[in-house]
């Protein structure tokens, strides 16, 4: 079975500092995709970054980077230079090739609050 | 502007009523999905469709129904058989139903049972 674990229910970070949101996953698939989404209080799910299981380089998108450690099965999100607008819920998710349902498996999420 | 639209944004349902949530995309994506989110929780898959005129049940399909008559549209009906329908509903689409394809989400519909 596939599973995503986010162990930090809530996090605080000072504006302009970097923050790491933890994500570990469990799968027996060799090929899978890892995703991070941001959900502000408005509710929409905003795609942030993607990492493929065969990608050798860590993914980066602007201020977001994904620290992918395949042997540890971790896919932590790093947000550099935090901004007040980064305050939101963050979800780690994965899809594996063995999953015939097409679904994303989501973690429970981490609430990030950026302090001015 | 390419994207996914959902309507209505808020929906109130009386006991015993069926209601339909709209989801439209102009991204030319083959695959579409419906998820349910309860407060403080991640998302759970209700139904998905890999291609027009085809759809499959997800993890929590009981009490819901869908159709996929057009590539752009994937409406979700919440029937009276759904015992606890109050939740936030999110529609998503991806180019194809592959592990490496990103799912993009609409703004969501918040359903409340009165």
Give dist(CA B41, CA A64) in Å, integer. Answer: 23
User: Which residue from A4, A45, A95 is facing B90, i.e. has the nearest CB?
Assistant: A45
Query: Of A43, A46, A107, which is closest to B42 when you measure between CB atoms?
Result: A107
- The pLDDT of residue A101: 57
Q: Which of A33, A103, A106 to probe the B interface (max B CBs under 10 A)?
A: A103
How many Cβ atoms sit within 10 Å of the Cβ of residue A49? 21
pLDDT tens by residue, A42-81: 999 999 999 999 998 999 999 999 999 999 999 999 999 9
- Asked if A102 and B101 come within 8 Å (Cβ–Cβ), the reply is no
Residue B31 has its nearest CB partner, among A29, A99, A102, at A102
A28 touches chain B (CB under 8 A): no
Q: Which of B47, B35, B30, B44 is nearest to B93 (CA)?
A: B30
Binding-face residues of A in 33-72 toward B, CB within 8 A: 33, 35, 37, 42-47, 50, 52
Residue A104 binned pLDDT confidence (cut-offs 50, 70, 90): confident
B61: left (phi over 0), alpha (psi -120 to 50) or beta: alpha
Q: How confident is the model at residue B37 (pLDDT cuts 50, 70, 90)?
A: very high
pLDDT digits (tens, 9 = 90+) for B48-107: 999 999 999 998 999 999 999 999 999 999 998 888 999 999 999 999 888 888 999 999
Average pLDDT, chain A: 93
């Amino acid at each position: 079975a596939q599973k995503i674990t986010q162990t930090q229910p809530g996090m605080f970070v000072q504006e302009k500092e970097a923050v790491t949101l933890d994500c570990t996953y469990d799968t027996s698939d060799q090929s899978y995709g890892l995703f991070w989404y941001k959900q502000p209080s408005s509710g929409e799910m905003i795609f942030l970054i993607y990492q493929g299981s065969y990608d050798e380089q860590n993914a980066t998108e602007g201020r977001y980077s994904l620290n992918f450690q395949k042997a540890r099965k971790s896919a932590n999100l790093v947000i550099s230079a935090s901004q007040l607008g980064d305050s939101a819920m963050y979800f780690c998710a994965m899809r594996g090739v063995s999953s015939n349902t097409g679904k994303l498996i989501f973690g429970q999420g981490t609430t990030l609050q950026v302090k001015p | 502007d390419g994207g996914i639209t959902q309507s209505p944004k808020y929906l109130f349902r009386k006991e015993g009523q069926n209601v339909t949530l709209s989801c439209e995309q102009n991204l030319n994506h083959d695959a579409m999905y419906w998820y349910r989110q309860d407060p403080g929780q991640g998302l759970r898959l209700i139904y998905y469709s890999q291609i027009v005129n085809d759809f499959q049940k997800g993890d929590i399909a009981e009490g819901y129904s869908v159709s996929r008559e057009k590539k752009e549209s994937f409406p979700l009906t919440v029937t009276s058989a759904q015992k606890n329908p109050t939740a936030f509903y999110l529609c998503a689409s991806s180019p194809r139903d592959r592990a490496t394809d990103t799912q993009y989400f609409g703004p969501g519909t918040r359903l409340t049972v009165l």
